Amino acid sequence: MNPEDRPIFDLRPEPERVWGFERQPLPEPQPPPPRVWLHVVLFLATLATTIIAGALQQGVNPLVNPGDLYKGIPFSFTLLLILGTHEMGHYLVSRRHHLNVTLPYFIPAPPFPFIVGTFGAFIRIRSPIRDKRALLDVGCSGPLTGVAVSIPVILVGLKLSTVKVLPGGTEGLVLGEPLLFQILTWVVFGPLSPEQNILLHPMAFAGWIGLLVTALNLIPVGQLDGGHVSYALFPERHRLISLACLGLLVVTGLLFWQGWLVWALLLYLLGLRHPPPAFDWVPLDRRRKILGIITILVFVLTFTPAPFKLE
């Protein structure tokens, strides 16, 4: 039997007998009751801000024409589907590993100047993670499920998009294309000339944001999803990997997009250290090592040095 595939047994001692009576184990502390109302309120607020953001992208002035807010629905629903799938991937896998985890918290953002209307979503894991197997499962589940939804969304959105040759001197916001988005663009449109530009449908734009969210979460620093995966795969080198990636973010921010400098500062303040799981000695099995490599590949395919630029 491969040592990595050995089953893990619960080695806790049996209850002892004291003075002829069996000592009963202390009851485990019960988690606080979920505040479902808070999750619902935050979700509805994010739904409102993303609809407004989607309408603004379509040139709607909500104050002048509030009846046209429906034009923001394709963007809002698509983006919330991707974010919700990402967080539910974490949630369901965490529950599978018997972790005390909250429902997703959606974070609304002002529709302007934040053109997407949300800062994303997150879940809280209140209990310690048992071993590196659970750590890798939890870390990769969100990004992989999120990108699995983003791919068909982008394909449909690109089908609804238009390709135009813009006149010279036209200025506007240009989105950087990660490798995965370039591949999907080629599948839908084939090779395009440098003069041709894709005017993205709101669904395609939401799918593009899904890839950006995946890349941000998979940066192998600290306790991001990518940090979980890198610790599970390379526990002894996790801090070195975090420092190296932080340095690369700074260089990328200086050369391509200054937003990476802000992100690097935020990650530094959040901390580069990753706490070890309770049973840190349990090795990863072969299947999870392959899953970790696939997750790293997804990061490479979704990362772009310059997500936004003005031309």
Give the pLDDT score at 12. Answer: 44
Summarize pLDDT for 41-84 with one digit per residue, the tens.
Answer: 999 999 999 999 999 999 999 888 989 999 999 999 999 999 99
The predicted model scores a pTM of 0.85
Give the pLDDT score at 63. Answer: 87
Give the pLDDT score at 23. Answer: 46
Give the pLDDT score at 36. Answer: 87
Residue 31, token pair as written in the block:
């988690």
Calculate the CA 296 to chain-centre distance: 13
- Phi then psi for 119, rounded to 5 degrees? -100, 10
Distances in whole angstroms, Cα of residue 176 to Cα of each of 18, 81, 106, 287: 69, 22, 26, 33
Give the pLDDT score at 169. Answer: 54
Give the pLDDT score at 166. Answer: 73
Summarize pLDDT for 22-48 with one digit per residue, the tens.
Answer: 444 545 445 556 678 999 999 999 999
Give the pLDDT score at 240. Answer: 94
Spans in the chain with pLDDT lower than 50: 1-4, 7-24, 26, 28-29
Contact of 192 with 185, CB cutoff 8 Å = yes
Give the pLDDT score at 179. Answer: 97
